[in-house]
Amino acid sequence: MTPASSHAQRTHIVLLEKNLEFENKIVDLTNKSDEFKAKYGSVHPVPGASAKIPILEDVDGTTLIESWTIMHYLEYKYPETPLLPKGAAERAKIELFVQLQGASLFERSSAILKARTQAELAVAKAGFVDALKVLNAALRTLGSQDGGDYFAGGQYTLADIAASTRIYRPIVLVEDHFGMDVQRLINEHRLDRLKAWLKAIFERPTFKASIPSRAAMSEKMGKHVVPLDG
């Protein structure tokens, strides 16, 4: 794994939530070892596919790639601390939520990074706000507030884990490098469901235990910020 990876972090959170013993190997993706590439190639069906993180090696020899697949595998094999609700409809809504919200804020923050004029930046920032509104609507439409503020209400699930690691990074980027106050925007647009949900998922102990320091993350992302033209 690498500390900056949202995909590695979400598998890390599942391992922590399940109270499983594991060894966390840090991978330098700019200088991938032959061992790492070989391990990835032993699972990926496409010869020469670019090796990515995370890779899970279970004690029984099972080796898996792709974080969403790994998360489900850990849930199915180690169900003692459930991270999925029991109902089929509730599980389907989690899948739909993750697919719909997926990379929305990532995509919007990428548009901000790609802006080269003040006009383009203004449009990109407005798009980011629109993504916050869509996320609030998805939480209201697909989720529940029965018993708590997580996606499924009182139960912390794979939906919260998958989304939290993908959402935190764009928020850090736009706040630290583009002067956007996300909390103020959420309050201004009365996105109350989103506000409560973000507080719940970002304060989860396993999220805090697995996230790199904000300073380190901000510094890394700052390397991708370039001055506007003119």
User: pLDDT for 57-92, tens place per residue?
Assistant: 999 999 999 999 999 999 999 999 999 999 999 999
Question: Cβ(171)–Cβ(108) under 8 Å?
Answer: no
Question: Cβ(75)–Cβ(155) under 8 Å?
Answer: no
Q: Both 184 and 123 in a single domain? A: yes
Which pair of structure tokens corresponds to residue 149?
A: 């503020």
The alpha helices in 102-213, defined as continuous H runs, are 104-114, 118-142, 158-178, 182-188, 192-202, 205-210
Could you give the CA distance from residue 5 to residue 15 in angstroms, rounded to a whole number?
A: 16
SS3 content of the chain, % helix, strand, coil (to 5): 60, 5, 35
Residue 82 lies in a domain: no
Total-model pTM: 0.93
Q: Both 47 and 92 in a single domain? A: no
Q: Both 120 and 196 in a single domain? A: yes
Q: Please identify, among 36, 58, 77, the residue that sits at the C-terminal boundary of a domain.
A: 77
User: pLDDT for 84-138, tens place per residue?
Assistant: 999 999 999 999 999 887 558 888 888 998 999 999 999 999 999 999 999 999 9
Residue 1 lies in a domain: no
Range of the domain at 189: 88-222
- Residue 23, SS3? coil
User: pLDDT for 173-207, tens place per residue?
Assistant: 999 999 999 999 999 999 999 999 999 999 999 99
Could you give the CA distance from residue 73 to residue 79 in angstroms, rounded to a whole number?
A: 10
Q: Both 121 and 205 in a single domain? A: yes
Residue 25 lies in a domain: yes
Could you give the CA distance from residue 74 to residue 71 in angstroms, rounded to a whole number?
A: 5
Cα-Cα-Cα-Cα dihedral sign, residues 15, 183, 228, 120:
positive
Q: Both 39 and 121 in a single domain? A: no
Q: What is the CA radius of gyration of the chain?
A: 18
Residue 170 lies in a domain: yes
Q: Both 131 and 204 in a single domain? A: yes
Number of domains in the chain: 2
